[in-house]
């Protein structure tokens, strides 16, 4: 892809050492001693509120106890039994609003057990051993198509392969991994971890990944249903919400998800365009990720503008604090009103309107403020964009695929999971659980 940036955008290049330092691992792997000390802080609660808060129901007290008894291999197997992408989830899960938020240590001391880092300690050590925690069952002769090689698709494919089914995974990008490969901040997943995890998952056998194939182009749902015994859709949210302002296609007005993907694949960060003055519109994880990373790339001033208060932001408090620690300004109660262009038709700034709550609804006050900007990033959410699935008999709800508790769609033989389904949270760990639930139901039906 090509970023629609201004031709002379750039705030000065950093040294190679500065880039390496800025984009180094956010949470370096714990040493054995550090892991043992941290594991010893766990109370191993009988009712385990942390486990109840985990979307994949990992037995957290058990895996931490296994670390404390110097059994990281057993700990990793406990994690992978519920979440085969436990390594990536340890890096990207908002543990501060899930397991760690309800940790008894957090309630008592304001300092939870570092569950995410302990999970990474166990899974990383295991993945470096070239072993696999599962053995593949005898082949069933059944074939399943998985469309989308993101967390939900990979989770589903792995669990189906464990049961002995043959799985073909189709993805429209050059690499498998979905948002794990293309959509998260680089400092959260370093050293090509996303691809290493894909290879780890494929070690089970029975999984073939075909890249450069997407639904509605190289693939049709009817064709897949005829060729395969079951189909799982994990096609994500490929379209980006627009600002709805004139000049949105001007150089310097950029989709944040495209920029993050470009950064994730860049071999030389010094060649990636970055402005001096940057404004990011949005309040979720994508907004934080693009704001922090442009600051790390050398931008002088980076501002996040969000239309509501801090408590309404999709990004966790930890992420908000991280952004501010890196020098990103977060301004609330502001919504975009007008893009400002220079004589060349390129982004020069943005006019924002102050907002307020009136009778429970958000309204503009009419008071404006203008910010100078040579880059404006759109990070106001993504939306479902796929061939008309309703023509194939698949019901949708709120613009996404409607599924039941087993992740079955309204069309027989077709399941769905991940960001593309209605009612779920847009989290990697939730997508993994969707894939696991669908796989178990597919296996049950195919085995009947």
Provide the 8-state DSSP code for 291.
H
Q: Please, which pLDDT band fits residue 7 given cuts at 50, 70 and 90?
A: low
In a domain, residue 250? The reply is yes
User: Domain containing 306 — which CATH number?
Assistant: 3.50.50.60
In a domain, residue 321? The reply is yes
In a domain, residue 2? The reply is no
- What is the CB-side half-sphere exposure of residue 298 using CA atoms within 13 A? 19
* pLDDT value at residue 310: 94
User: In the numeric block, which tokens belong to residue 49?
Assistant: 């509120």
Tell which of 67, 92, 127 closes a domain.
Answer: 127
In a domain, residue 184? The reply is yes
* pLDDT value at residue 5: 73
277 and 306 share a domain?
A: yes
390 and 373 share a domain?
A: no
User: In the numeric block, which tokens belong to residue 351?
Assistant: 């006019």
259 and 363 share a domain?
A: yes
* pLDDT value at residue 10: 62
User: Residues 192-207: pLDDT tens digits?
Assistant: 999 999 999 999 999 9
**Which pTM was predicted?**
0.94
159 and 278 share a domain?
A: no
* pLDDT value at residue 344: 93
Q: Calculate what percentage of the chain has a pLDDT beyond 70.
A: 97
In a domain, residue 135? The reply is no
Containing structural domain, residue 83: 32-127
In a domain, residue 43? The reply is yes
Q: How many domains does the chain have?
A: 3
pLDDT at 77 over 60: yes
In a domain, residue 307? The reply is yes
Tell which of 360, 381, 402 closes a domain.
Answer: 381
289 and 373 share a domain?
A: yes
In a domain, residue 9? The reply is no
User: Residues 228-249: pLDDT tens digits?
Assistant: 999 999 999 888 899 999 999 9
Per-residue burial over 38-71, b = 16 or more CB atoms within 10 Å of its CB, e = otherwise: bbebbeeeeebebbebbbbebbbbbbbbbbbeee
Q: Please, which pLDDT band fits residue 341 given cuts at 50, 70 and 90?
A: very high
Would you call 36 exposed, middle or buried from its count of C-beta atoms within 10 A (0-12, 13-18, 19+)? middle
Q: Please, which pLDDT band fits residue 382 given cuts at 50, 70 and 90?
A: confident
Tell which of 364, 381, 398 closes a domain.
Answer: 381
User: Domain containing 108 — which CATH number?
Assistant: 1.10.1060.10
229 and 260 share a domain?
A: no
150 and 119 share a domain?
A: no
User: Residues 269-312: pLDDT tens digits?
Assistant: 999 999 999 999 999 999 999 999 999 999 999 999 999 999 99
Strand (E) or helix (H) holding 366: strand 361-372
* pLDDT value at residue 349: 97
* pLDDT value at residue 150: 97
- The interaxial angle of helices 193-202 and 115-127, nearest 10 deg, is 60
208 and 104 share a domain?
A: no
351 and 259 share a domain?
A: yes
For residues 425-437, give the mean pLDDT: 95
191 and 83 share a domain?
A: no
Listing DSSP states for 189-226 in one string gives S-TTHHHHHHHHHHTTSSEEEEES--BTTTB-HHHHHH
Listing DSSP states for 147-177 in one string gives E--SHHHHHHHHHHHHTT-EEEEEESSSSS-
Q: Is the separation of the CB atoms in 297 and 307 below 8 Å? A: no
User: In the numeric block, which tokens belong to residue 98?
Assistant: 């899930």
261 and 374 share a domain?
A: yes
Mean of all residue pLDDT scores within the chain? 94
Q: Please, which pLDDT band fits residue 426 given cuts at 50, 70 and 90?
A: confident
234 and 316 share a domain?
A: no
Q: Please, which pLDDT band fits residue 425 given cuts at 50, 70 and 90?
A: confident
């Amino acid at each position: 892809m090509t970023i629609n940036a201004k031709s002379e955008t750039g705030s000065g290049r950093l040294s190679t050492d500065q880039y390496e330092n800025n984009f180094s691992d956010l949470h370096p792997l714990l040493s054995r001693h550090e892991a043992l000390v941290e594991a010893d802080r766990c109370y191993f609660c009988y009712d385990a509120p942390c486990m109840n808060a985990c979307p994949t129901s990992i037995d957290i007290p058990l895996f931490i106890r296994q670390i404390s008894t110097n059994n990281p291999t057993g700990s990793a197997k406990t994690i992978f039994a519920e979440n085969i992408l436990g390594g990536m989830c340890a890096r990207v899960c908002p543990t501060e609003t899930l397991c760690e938020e309800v940790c008894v240590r957090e309630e008592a001391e304001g300092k939870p057990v570092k569950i995410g880092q302990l999970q990474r300690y166990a899974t990383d050590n295991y993945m470096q051993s070239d072993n696999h925690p599962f053995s593949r069952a005898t082949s069933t002769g059944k074939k399943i198509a998985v469309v989308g090689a993101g967390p939900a698709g990979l989770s589903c494919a792995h669990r189906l392969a464990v049961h002995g089914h043959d799985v073909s995974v189709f993805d429209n990008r050059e690499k498998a991994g979905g948002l794990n490969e293309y959509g998260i901040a680089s400092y959260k997943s370093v050293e090509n971890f996303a691809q290493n995890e894909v290879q780890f998952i494929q070690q089970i056998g029975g999984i073939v990944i075909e890249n450069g194939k997407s639904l509605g182009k190289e693939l049709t749902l009817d064709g897949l249903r005829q060729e395969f015994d079951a189909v799982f859709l994990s096609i994500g949210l490929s379209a980006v919400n627009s600002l709805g302002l004139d000049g949105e296609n001007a150089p310097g007005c950029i989709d944040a998800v495209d920029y993050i993907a470009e950064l994730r694949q860049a071999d030389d960060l010094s060649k990636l365009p970055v402005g001096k003055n940057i404004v990011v519109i949005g309040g979720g994880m994508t907004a934080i990720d693009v704001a922090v990373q442009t600051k790390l790339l050398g931008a002088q001033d980076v501002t996040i503008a969000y239309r509501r208060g801090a408590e309404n932001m999709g990004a966790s408090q930890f992420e908000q604090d991280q952004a501010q620690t890196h020098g990103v300004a977060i301004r609330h109660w502001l919504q975009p009103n007008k893009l400002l262009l220079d004589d060349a038709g390129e982004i020069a700034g943005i006019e924002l309107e102050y907002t307020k709550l009136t009778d429970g609804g958000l309204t503009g006050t009419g008071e404006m403020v203008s910010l100078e900007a040579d880059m404006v990033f759109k990070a106001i959410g993504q939306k479902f964009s796929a061939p008309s699935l309703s023509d194939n008999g698949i019901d949708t709800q709120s613009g996404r695929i409607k599924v039941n508790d087993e992740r079955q769609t309204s069309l027989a033989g077709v399941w769905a999971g991940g960001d593309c389904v209605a009612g779920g949270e847009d989290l990697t760990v939730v997508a993994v659980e969707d894939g696991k639930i669908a796989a178990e139901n597919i296996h049950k039906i195919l085995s009947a």
